[in-house]
Amino acid sequence: MASADRDEVKLKKEAVDLHELIRRAAEPFQLTLADRHGQFHFDLQAFPFTLQADQLHLTSRTL
């Protein structure tokens, strides 16, 4: 049984930079895009661009 199923998830909340999180999530795709002559364009204007979250759990869901 997963710990989340037992309501035992312990979150370590800290400031997470959303812009950096998005950039890091895109990194694994950069070579594939370059091979296909593609590119990412980021228009990161979120404000505020940080939030209080458990970075480990957040990045494991997005990366």
Give residue limits of the domains in the chain.
Answer: 10-62
Entry pTM: 0.63
* Nearest partner of 58 among 25, 33, 31, judged by Cα: 25
Asked if 23 and 62 touch (Cβ cutoff 8 Å), the reply is no
pLDDT tens sequence across 6-57: 667 788 999 999 888 888 888 888 888 989 999 888 898 878 889 898 888 8
Q: How far apart are CA 42 and CA 63, in angstroms?
A: 17
**What is the amino acid identity at position 56?**
L
